[in-house]
Structure 1
């Protein structure tokens, strides 16, 4: 496929552009951009960065929304032999300052509307040799930034070829920042080989083809969103890129208009879909597959998705930024094992270990370990955090990923997610997995979303506390919810308190933010 050379990630774009140059690769609002146009603009950005002194292995940070410029920049940075890091546009100034000082990028690519957030951190960042700003930026703003130019002048070069190739496949391609459930952001280091392996594996089980039209409402700063774009360009498909899922009714119109075939989402997106009363009037016959990750889908959401997209294959999946994807549940197994997150993705191996690092048998809960070419190289500049996650594997010199997640594997090799290691609640000397309690709450009619945490308790050590969002019009109160839990759960797992709230706190990437609950 790649003309005899060992492929690098950006060869996906070059190959699709050489075959399908006139095909629309990207739909973004009113813009429709072809593979040939994206390839030409990415080459121009690559030459501009190289001329500005960006060298092999340098980091380039993209701080922008889901836009055409972000997509072009991603490929352009790779073509410049550099390492790309996309940062969520919702990031605040002090966090951006932290990220800039953490990876010390040689260049920053951003957009004028974020000026109030990036201007001060950019001025203070000692490593920047170039700042590229898209949008209607005025001369005074530009002059106040280090080595700044407008996007239009950066892409004006017009180069038919990319700069000379300096990288090999074990060089870093990307640093993806993960907030994790605790502490400061960590930059996950991924090589070209890591990302190509993940793409090949996922595209094979999703059976992606050139005729796909993939909807992406997830931030490109989030690996789940980013890989939608990479896999679309790998197969020569079309990507429909939206800024967010803030206006569900509008997105449903886009699905119909663009004849979308693939709909990747997270539980919060599917929860807000279920609230739309007009869903039945929409024609979703074009949708061939729906994917979910970030957390196992509650049974009621699986049933809702099957009802909404009757012709679609529904994939429940689970993964971590540190290895992209761990498992997927083949759609034909949904009926049989609705609560499982599935089997290991192709070309990946997994097992469970106990607290003494011994492998355990079926149905024993322990820590999940992942082995394969998708496993990250470590956290950028954080050797101690890396050493906690990456440990020696079966082969000399090999590293495997200790996920920190508690899971079990059944006799057929299907994985069940029990809880993040740092979320397990120790109450009355017993271990309580929040996920188990959340599953029971989600099964109660009228409950839309549920989150369970442990709170300090003098008597119990930790008490189980639940936060519940009710469906519109539901009249079940906190006492009734408590009774239902007592009926369905072992004594020590029943929440000591249940609070009905209007909404649950979310991270920038649409994951539940339990650290904001108390």
Structure 2
């Protein structure tokens, strides 16, 4: 069994790892890398910003990103804030992405400027869009506030918020590819994700020295 007394939520995973191996590389992307401590610090900054924006326990936060370091930070940051993370497949077309945003009743979207351009006309229900790579000459006119990732990372990371989330609370909604219709959401709680990750790790005998290609 996994150490359930220590790790009860997805957010606990990075908190535990950062405490145990703070300077060890956690995630690599091209020529960039983040240690466990850096992932935790950035996740905490995102969590505190989301809470200040009004995101609370059970609120859905979508992210529509290609593979990049901010994707990992988003998962943990949303979880620490008490929210439910809703990944949108990076290959999804705009119509599918909009369906997921609306169907999941998301309150916040994290995305890139280029992806936002294809969604801008239908985002009026969101509290805010957080844009990873917002350019200086931003000319998009959209129906909700926009905040840059840099603004989010400028926030306070001093204290961990208390979300009141427990293992049986919903952690994520994962949507199908929508190959035969509109994507459909599958609900997973924190226990589902942690136990699944631990089972795969045990079966494949993954050690702290291994690197996993994603």
Fold similarity call, TM over 0.5: yes
**Is the 1:13–1:35 Cα contact (8 Å) retained in structure 2?**
yes
Find 2:127's aligned residue among 126, 129, 135.
129
Distance 2:208 2:127 in 1: 39
In structure 2, which of residues 164, 167, 176 is the aligned counterpart of residue 166 of structure 1?
Answer: 164
User: Alpha carbons of 1:39 and 1:149: their partners in 2 closer, same or farther (altered >3 Å)?
Assistant: same
Instruction: Give the drift of 1:143.
Output: 5.8
Checking the alignment, whether the CA contact within 8 Å between 2:96 and 2:182 is kept in structure 1 is no
| Structure 2 contact 39–73 (Cα < 8 Å) conserved | yes
Q: C-alpha separation between the residues in 2 aligned to 1:100 and 1:113?
A: 17
Aligned equivalent of 1:202: 200
Q: TM-score, normalised by structure 1?
A: 0.39
SS of alignment partner, residue 106 of structure 1: strand
* Contact residue 66 and residue 90 of structure 2 kept, 8 A: yes
CA contact (8 A) 2:120 2:141 kept: no
- In structure 1, stretches of 5+ residues that fail to align are 217-518
C-alpha separation in 2, matches of 1:108 and 1:78: 15
Q: Is the 8 A contact 2:122 2:143 kept in 1?
A: no
**Cα distance, 1:72–1:141 mapped onto 2, change above 3 Å:** farther
The answer for the alignment partner of 1:226 in structure 2 is: none
| Structure 1 pair 191–57 and aligned structure 2 pair: CA distance change class (3 A) | same
Q: Distance in 1 between matches of 2:86 and 2:115?
A: 17
- Cα distance, 1:155 vs structure 2: 1.3
TM-aligned CA distance change 1:64 to 1:165, over 3 Å: same
Task: Tell me the alpha carbon deviations over residues 354-380 of structure 1, each in whole angstroms, 9 at most, x when there is no partner.
Answer: xxxxxxxxxxxxxxxxxxxxxxxxxxx
RMSD: 1.9
Aligned-partner SS, 1:213: coil
In 2, the alpha carbon distance for the partners of 1:189 and 1:48 equals 25
Distance 1:82 1:115 in 2: 22
Q: Is the 8 A contact 2:82 2:165 kept in 1?
A: yes
CA deviation after TM superposition for structure 1 residue 180, in Å: 5.6
Shift of residue 182 of structure 1?
A: 2.6
Uncovered stretches (5+) of structure 2, i.e. residues with no partner: none
Residue 213 (structure 2) pairs with residue 215 (structure 1): yes
Whether 2:153 is the aligned partner of 1:155: answer: yes
Deviation string for 1:116-153 (max 9, x for gaps)?
2222232x4x2x11210011434644663512110000
Work out the CA distance in 2 between the residues paired with 1:154 and 1:142. Answer: 20
2-side partners of 1:183 and 1:73: how far apart?
A: 27
Does the 8 Å CA contact 1:2/1:15 hold for their aligned counterparts? no
Counterpart of 2:104?
103
Larger radius of gyration: 1
CA distance in 2, matches of 1:170, 1:115: 33
Say whether the 8 Å CA contact 2:23–2:36 is kept in structure 1: yes
Give me the whole-angstrom Cα distance separating, in 2, the residues matched to 1:40 and 1:33: 10
TM-score, scaled relative to structure 2: 0.92
Aligned residues: 213
Q: Which structure has greater strand proportion? A: 1
Distance 1:135 1:181, change over 3 A: closer
Equivalents in 2 of 1:89, 1:141: separation in Å? 24
Deviation of 1:3 (Å): 8.9
> Structure 1 residue 113: deviation in Å?
2.4
Alignment of 1:360-509 (within 5 A): none
CA distance in 2, matches of 1:145, 1:29: 34
Residue aligned with 2:106, SS: coil
Which has the higher relative contact order, 1 or 2, with Cα contacts under 8 A spaced 6 or more apart? 2
Alpha-carbon distance change, 13 to 5 in structure 1, aligned in 2, over 3 angstroms: closer
Matches within 5 A, 1:230-269: none
Q: Show the counterpart of 1:175.
A: 173
